Amino acid sequence: MGPRKAFLFSPFLLWSQSRGVRLMFLLLTLHLGNCVDKADDEDDEDLTVNKTWVLAPKIHEGDVTQILNSLLQGYDNKLRPDIGVRPTVIETDVYVNSIGPVDPINMEYTIDIIFAQTWFDSRLKFNSTMKVLMLNSNMVGKIWIPDTFFRNSRKSDAHWITTPNRLLRIWNDGRVLYTLRLTINAECYLQLHNFPMDEHSCPLEFSSYGYPKNEIEYKWKKPSVEVADPKYWRLYQFAFVGLRNSTEICHTISGDYVIMTIFFDLSRRMGYFTIQTYIPCILTVVLSWVSFWINKDAVPARTSLALMEYGTLHYFTSNKKVKTARDRKIKSKASISPGLHPGSTLIPMNSISLPQGEDDYGYQCLEGKDCASFFCCFEDCKTGSWREGRIHIRIAKIDSYSRIFFPTAFALFNLVYWVGYLYL
């Protein structure tokens, strides 16, 4: 019975053993898979680290200091690059922060710019994994810098708050970039013969102060001039039209110099003068015509109108002048006799009172009436016979003719004025 039982249970034992082998094989497979995944992850991490190390190598502070020390060792900042070999080429570009205000009295304008210069200095080449050295203003005085100055500048200010607004970049091939921020009051001679419809080109000129053309050559970079948003500029009466740049050679006793010029085109805004000058003056002239429709016997009305016209013109002329103590003194003296004010430009003829009665300057009519001018000014004198060469015209007729003549003449004047200023 024993061997038979063993025979009967042998398949069960074989099945149990094969099941254990399968479990062991499955566990071994899972373990190997985890090992492979961990190995792949470690490989990926190493690959990422290696890529990072290649793209951004770690540079120590000592390495940069060593590069700068080696560049400045034996460097003479009093000598320009390639002296005695070829001219040094300076590429320039300008970024305009703002323009204005424009001062038409002193013939100047204010401009805020960032001025950039680029050149090559073979003495500043270096071998390193770094492509460019980004430095501040402390390095500027240790290398050669172009002696550029602004020829039409009356006053220039460099910005020093909170630190000097200067930038220096040195590339490993010897290229140098130097920028600084400046505020300049530059000359701009305004041509005011078309005022207030005038247009101007305000220049900004710069060149080398001591190096002629055979030593330093200036060239424009591309883009050469860029501007900020003009809507924040303080131009007030002017509008920014555009800009252009040019290069020319100036011949002097000390040599030929390259002059770089930027022209800023400005046009005066007409809206300001239309509201402040043209419309008030036109209304004042039209107001003076009202007296032609007032009865000649209404002396108070005509006089009041004349005084109102005089006061209006005096207001506009006095606002255009800079008041000083002397002007106020003259004004106080002249206020006693307003008809003799030295600044008055309008004395309406209808406000003049003609003398009546006998005097030595009258002209005697045949009927014994006295007339004080070429015109017959009194109704009781209109029937008299005038002396030879005198004119006999009635005041009522003068008003009738003036109602047509003055508006027509003013309309023709405006036609010629606007056509001449705007289109000729």
Band of pLDDT at residue 137, cut at 50, 70 and 90: confident
What percentage of residues in the chain have a pLDDT greater than 70?
A: 64
**What's the DSSP call for residue 68?**
H
pLDDT tens-place string over residues 22-71: 666 566 655 555 554 544 444 444 444 444 444 445 556 668 888 999 99
Q: Are 239 and 300 in contact (CB under 8 A)?
A: no
The reported pLDDT for the residue numbered 350 is 45
| Reported pTM | 0.63
Question: What is the rounded CA–CA span in Å between residue 60 and residue 32?
Answer: 43
pLDDT tens-place string over residues 220-267: 998 899 999 888 888 888 999 999 999 999 999 999 999 999 999 999
Give just the sign of the alpha carbon dihedral 415, 419, 421, 422: positive
**Angstrom distances, CA of residue 209 to CA of 19, 91, 216:** 98, 16, 10
Strand partners, 92: 117, 220
List the one residue out of 162, 181, 163 whose CA is nearest residue 98.
Answer: 181
The reported pLDDT for the residue numbered 398 is 82
Q: In the predicted model, what is the mean pLDDT of the chain? A: 76
pLDDT tens-place string over residues 168-201: 999 999 999 999 999 999 999 998 888 888 899 9
Res. 361: pLDDT tops 60: no
Please tell me the least confidently modeled range out of 59-63, 66-70, 93-97, 135-139.
Answer: 59-63
Strands 153-158 and 370-371: unpaired
Give just the sign of the alpha carbon dihedral 203, 209, 213, 219: negative
Band of pLDDT at residue 352, cut at 50, 70 and 90: very low
List the one residue out of 7, 8, 121 whose CA is nearest residue 72.
Answer: 121
The reported pLDDT for the residue numbered 15 is 43
Res. 145: pLDDT tops 50: yes
Tokens, residue 76 = 């003479």
- Which of the pair, 39 or 395, is modelled with greater confidence? 395
Radius of gyration of the chain (CA): 46
The reported pLDDT for the residue numbered 46 is 43
Question: What is the rounded CA–CA span in Å between residue 411 and residue 400?
Answer: 18
What percentage of residues in the chain have a pLDDT greater than 90?
A: 40
The reported pLDDT for the residue numbered 109 is 96
The reported pLDDT for the residue numbered 191 is 87
Q: Are 121 and 81 in contact (CB under 8 A)?
A: yes
